[in-house]
Structure 1
Amino acid sequence: MYSAQEPSLQDRMPRGLELALRFGVPALVAVACAWVALWVVGQTRFALVPMAVAMLVTALLTPSVRWLHGRLGLNRYLAGGLCLITLMAAVATLVTLATRTMVRQMGSITRLAQESLSATAEWLRDGPLHVDDAQLQEGVNKGQEWLASNSQGIAQTAMKFSGSVTEVGAMVLLVVVSAFFFLGDGPAIWRSVLWLVPHRSRARQLEASRRSWRSLELYARTAVAVAAIDALGIWLGCVVLGVPFAVPVAMLVFVASFVPFLGAIVSGVIAVGIALFAKGLTTALLMLLVVLLVQQLEGNVLQPLLMGKAVSLHPYAVIIGVSLAGYLWNLPGALLAVPVMAVVMAWLRYLNDDDRFPELGTLSRRDESDDEDKSGDQLVQDDEAGHSPVGARSVSAS
């Protein structure tokens, strides 16, 4: 008698259902995990954002701390504290200078505002719109009524702003404290983090983290250099053209340079707008030329020359990353998107045998058979002298 083998459940399953189970379920699990991760990051951004900024500050100040510790023999905490104090003094000096400039020029700006309003009213009366005085007064009255009816909302917005100022102050304090400990005892902190990594992969993850840290160091230094050159160019343009608020505009350009594409557009529009408001159309066009020249210098010379190896990201990936991070976490997300992407890509490239920093070498060469008997603990302990990613000292010369 003929007896056929009973078909398996997979053979009896419709092809569409099989594909859905094979690819759809893992995709849904991945999306759910990503959503949970984004939600956790959003809920803990008060701590994560200062820590990320502190790591950028650490990457920027690490060469100075290394020099003070190695050449002058200063304790790492003392060297880190001196570098942080110097940086904060420089920032405070620039903020004070910008504030004094704004206060000193506020009278002239008020006068220019009155003249601009008068010229606008005259154009509305004598221009193609032919708006009479009664219509102008009606518009002014509606504006006053709107202010009166929305005064409570404006007051609530002011209270929210004061609360935001308090929150920002607390975050700045957390940045300073975190950077101080990262600079002073970064290797021990990173060793504690690596203990969470599985035993056999600890050495490889250490090498990947060293590449990520080198990428972050290069990004921090080159980003500051590019932002400083941009700010200097805009400042010189404002000084030569006689545009007011040269120092505040330069500081705005410096900060905005850390947000790719969008930051340059916003700061350029503000600079040209101030020139138009204060000096007229001709000066505004000349200021626009200065802004375009600076942006071309940054995009075609500075970015490829200085930032290429540090970031190595496609411009479209940068646009998507900055847009998504800015949408989810506002300005901090837009500022931190590129360095986070650079760190992650350097890490993943090394794990996929694409070492962008071969000059770093490895902390200890060992055979694959040794990895089964030895963990990365000894590597991490050897690295405590300064090779770990947080406050690291590279094997090669910086």
Structure 2
Amino acid sequence: MRRQWWIVAGLAGLVWLLISLQPILTPFFVSMVLAYLGDPLADRLEAWGLSRRLSVSVVFLLLFMLLVLVLLLLVPTLGRQLGQLVESLPAVLGWLQDSVVPRIQALTGMDLSTDFDQMRQALMANWKETGTFAATLLAQVSRSGLVLAAWAGNLALIPVVTFYLLLDWDRLTANLRASLPRQWEPTVRHLAVECDEVLAAFLRGQLIVMLCLGVIYAVGLTLLGVRFGVLIGLLAGLASIVPYLGVIVGISVAALVAFFQFGEILPLLGVIAVFAFGQLVESTVLQPKLLGDKIGLHPVAVIFAVLAGGNLFGFTGVLLALPVAAVIMVLLRELNDRYKNSTLYDAAHNGSQDEESQ
């Protein structure tokens, strides 16, 4: 019993230490995720005859080329469309006030003009304040050499730490497994395999699904000529981390933009077709091939995990929320199986099994 209390105290101390060091842990957590994602590719290159160091270097070269490609092709387009969205916001609000609000008033008999006008003024004031705050914050960061150096240091740490973690990943996991108490090692290894399957399905599979959906939505909306098509498509792909949230948000925003832009029904049908095609590809190709039924996180659990992680640990918590939730799900599933096989759950059934075994 005393040993168990020491284990609980040690875990509590570890949690306290992680909370205390949270401001400096972000680059290390990001590096761990990147190393975990890149380890299977490095292992495959190593199996083809390359050395571990050369395999890791090839993985880093591929990641660097992908990052450069995204920066060159995607970031300018997103920045331009985001600027256009900011410029068109007053016109959109004016159209809603002049066209949509009177129709709602005619149908419901409610006077919404005053409330909407106040909401519009508050939104525009807050939007301007947000822009001013962002500009002020950027100016302060630029003037503060210490803060700027900390940001640059964290960014520079990520590739360095990722390289060394990826280089020694197999050795680190082997040493961790060898240090476990022998009576715990089979159980821990079994749970680790299940956690790895869930994490691999989520981190590799779900990210690829989100990326593919974002590309499908962005290309489809751009071909239709919808303004902000790339921005809406990628945001809908990111929102697809919660099932059906991406298509609901994306089709709502895209339909509103298309109707405001064209004023016709036919573009709305095109928007619906784009998102329907994306859902068809996801359900028939992406989900079965990349995810299967390994994750099993309920949409409500996904939302709660993201909000709880962000509230407890900020940006680091958002990054780690879903992987940690997936691991907790595996542990809870194991506890549930053990509970149902215990005398606490069904003493008569387990007692009869013991008598039969005797």
Look up the match of 1:189: 172
Q: CA deviation at 1:115?
A: 6.2
Q: CA deviation at 1:185?
A: 1.0
Aligned partners of 1:259 and 1:322 also within 8 Å = no
Secondary structure of the structure 2 residue equivalent to 1:310: coil
TM-score (norm 1): 0.59
- 292-301 or 228-237: bigger deviation: 292-301
Q: 1:246 to 1:77 in 2, by over 3 A?
A: farther
Counterparts of 1:98-247 in structure 2, within 5 Å, are 98-102=74-78, 156-159=136-139, 170-194=153-177, 197-247=180-230
Structure 2 counterpart of 1:45, which letter? Answer: Q
Are 1:252 and 2:241 counterparts?
no
Look up the match of 1:11: none
Q: 1:209 to 1:260 in 2, by over 3 A?
A: same
Q: 1:329 to 1:176 in 2, by over 3 A?
A: same
Q: In the aligned structure 1, how far is the partner of 2:259 from the partner of 2:151?
A: 33
Structure 2 counterpart of 1:341, which letter? Answer: A
Are 1:343 and 2:338 counterparts?
no
Q: In the aligned structure 2, how far is the partner of 1:57 from the partner of 1:268?
A: 32
Q: CA deviation at 1:240?
A: 2.6
TM-score (norm 2): 0.64
Aligned partners of 1:109 and 1:278 also within 8 Å = no
Encode CA deviations 1:243-281: one digit per residue, 9 max, x unaligned: 234444444344444456656655555545554554457
Q: In the aligned structure 2, how far is the partner of 1:212 from the partner of 1:290?
A: 35
Aligned partners of 1:112 and 1:277 also within 8 Å = no
Look up the match of 1:54: 31
Q: In the aligned structure 1, how far is the partner of 2:272 from the partner of 2:141?
A: 32
Q: In the aligned structure 2, how far is the partner of 1:35 from the partner of 1:285?
A: 55
Look up the match of 1:320: 304
Q: 1:198 to 1:105 in 2, by over 3 A?
A: closer
Q: 1:246 to 1:192 in 2, by over 3 A?
A: same
Encode CA deviations 1:112-162: one digit per residue, 9 max, x unaligned: 6686588679779x9999x9xxxx9xx99xx89x979x9986654445776
Aligned pair count reads: 319
Q: CA deviation at 1:69?
A: 0.9
Q: 1:241 to 1:323 in 2, by over 3 A?
A: same
Q: Percent identity?
A: 27
Q: 1:274 to 1:57 in 2, by over 3 A?
A: farther
Structure 2 counterpart of 1:92, which letter? Answer: V
Aligned partners of 1:211 and 1:347 also within 8 Å = no
Structure 2: state its 5+ residue gaps: 1-7, 106-110, 339-358
Q: 1:100 to 1:261 in 2, by over 3 A?
A: same
Structure 1 counterpart of 2:162, which letter? Answer: A
Are 1:85 and 2:61 counterparts?
yes
Q: CA deviation at 1:325?
A: 2.2
Whichever of the two has the greater Rg, that structure is: 1
Q: 1:154 to 1:184 in 2, by over 3 A?
A: closer
Look up the match of 2:346: none
Structure 1: state its 5+ residue gaps: 1-29, 355-398
Equivalent of residue 310 in structure 1, options 286, 291, 294: 294
